[in-house]
Every structure is written in structure tokens, then in C-alpha cells.
């Protein structure tokens, strides 16, 4: 097989993959108009379990160094951190997903209620926007957006939804 033929096959595969993303043919991934953004694991705040058969969207985004990624996942609180009180106030805690990936949740408590009874070991589900960093990443926008520019995120803890 010639190099020209191999390059052509590679180009066709890349084009097919890109079409699959834009056309919604690849589960868990959809095209967005924002650069470097994807959508992963659709669910609702009423569902506390990640979608059956799906990979961990956080671990995937971390591996690929992605930011501006909509994620919905569940895990156990591994550590509750002090609030960040600079600028908008954020409740902060670390969640470990079933795959073992850890992520910092930064929940804006100026726009949404605080999860008061949150303790290490508690199960929690969340929806928000993932931002990559070398420590596992951060999920923010776990609340409504008063200006309507971001999709509403949420936290679910002990049967209650925080938005």
C-alpha cells in the first residue's frame, strides 16, 4: 500500500469522526459553537446515577485537557474545603467518581443555596461546566445563570436539588 493511499485513508477516517461529532453519532459527544467544548453524559437532576454504559466524562475531559465541557456525574465527597470568599463566594469540595477520578466542585453560594449538611463520604450528583487543570479539574456553574448565557447546572445531595 502506498503512502499516498494511507494518507487518503487517514483523512477519510478523520473526516468521518468529525462528522460523527457534529451529527451526534458518537454517544456522549456533541458539537458546540464554543471552541474546545463538548457535552458529555446527559442526565437530569432527578437521576443520581451516571448514564449506564457511559465512560467517566470527567476522566475523559481530564485526559484530553478539555475545558468548557458540560458534565453530569456522581461520586462521593472525599473532602470538604473552606469556602472561597474572594469575589463571588463559592462552596468548595472534592468529589471522587466511581472511576477514581477526583474533581473540585466550586458551587456559587451567592447565586444558589449552600449544601449545609455536606460531609466527606456523602454521595452527590452534579451538573456543571468542567475546566481542566493538572490537579483533576474544576466543575463550576453548578447553579442557574441569572443572565441566561450558561445552561443551568445543579447539585443533588440527600434527595434535594441545589440550583
Shared domain for 58 and 135, answered yes or no, is yes
Taking residue 124's Cβ as centre, other Cβ atoms within 10 Å add up to 20
For the chain, the average pLDDT equals 77
Domain span including residue 158: 32-162
> Are residues 14 and 92 located together in one domain of the fold?
no
Average pLDDT over residues 74-79: 97
Q: Could you report the per-residue pLDDT of 90-126, keeping only the tens digit for each?
A: 999 999 999 899 999 999 999 999 999 999 999 999 9
Share of the chain above pLDDT 70, in %: 66
Judgement on whether residues 111 and 63 belong to the same structural domain of the protein: yes
Residue 12 has what pLDDT? Answer: 54
My answer on whether 51 and 91 are in the same domain is: yes
For residues 41 and 23, membership in a common domain is answered with no
In this structure, how many other beta carbons lie within 10 angstroms of the beta carbon of residue 81? 13
- The verdict on 79 and 119 lying in the same domain is yes
pTM of the model as a whole: 0.67
pLDDT over 70 (residue 127): yes
pLDDT band at 14 (very low <50, low <70, confident <90, very high): low
Residues 6+ apart with CB under 8 A from 93: 77, 79, 80, 81, 104, 105, 107, 118
What does the pLDDT look like over 23-39, one tens digit per residue? Answer: 444 344 333 333 333 33
Number of folded domains that form the chain: 2
Do 117 and 93 fall within a single domain? yes
Cell numbers for 88: 463571588
Q: Beta strands 123-131 and 138-140: pairing type?
A: antiparallel
Same-domain status, 50 and 21: no
Q: Locate cell 461546566: which residue?
A: 129
Residues 11 and 87 in one domain: no
Pick 56 or 35 by higher pLDDT: 56
3-state secondary structure the chain: CCHHHHHHHHHHHHHHHHHHHHHCCCCCCCCCCCCCCCECCCCCCCCCCCCCCCCCHHHHHHHCCCCCEEEEEEEEEEEEEEEECCCCCEEEEEEECCCCCEEEEEEECCCCCCCCCCCCCCEEEEEEEEECCCCCCEEECCCCCCCCCCCCCEEEECCEEEC
**114 and 67 together in one domain:** yes
The CATH number for 43's domain is: 2.40.50.140
Whether residue 98 sits in one domain with residue 129 = yes
The answer to whether residues 51 and 86 belong to one domain is yes
Q: Give residues with Cβ within 8 angstroms of 41, minimum separation 6.
A: 28, 50, 51, 54, 57, 71, 72, 73
Q: Say what the pLDDT of residue 60 is.
A: 87
Burial class (CB in 10 A: 0-12, 13-18, 19+), 15: exposed
Amino acid at each position: 500500500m502506498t503512502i499516498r493511499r494511507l494518507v487518503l485513508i487517514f483523512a477519510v477516517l478523520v473526516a468521518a469522526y468529525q462528522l460523527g461529532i457534529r451529527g451526534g453519532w458518537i454517544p456522549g459527544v456533541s458539537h458546540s459553537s464554543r471552541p474546545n467544548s463538548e457535552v458529555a453524559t446527559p442526565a437530569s437532576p432527578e437521576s443520581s446515577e451516571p448514564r449506564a454504559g457511559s465512560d467517566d466524562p470527567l476522566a475523559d475531559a481530564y485526559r484530553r485537557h478539555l475545558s468548557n465541557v458540560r458534565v453530569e456525574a456522581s461520586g462521593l465527597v472525599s473532602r470538604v474545603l473552606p469556602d472561597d470568599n474572594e469575589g463571588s463566594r463559592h462552596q468548595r469540595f472534592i468529589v471522587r467518581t466511581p472511576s477514581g477520578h477526583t474533581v473540585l466542585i466550586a458551587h456559587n453560594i451567592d447565586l444558589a443555596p449552600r449544601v449545609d449538611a455536606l460531609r466527606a463520604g456523602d454521595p452527590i450528583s452534579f451538573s456543571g461546566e468542567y475546566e481542566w487543570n493538572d490537579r483533576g479539574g474544576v466543575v463550576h456553574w453548578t447553579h442557574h445563570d441569572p443572565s441566561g448565557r450558561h445552561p443551568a447546572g445543579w447539585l443533588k445531595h440527600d434527595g434535594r436539588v441545589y440550583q
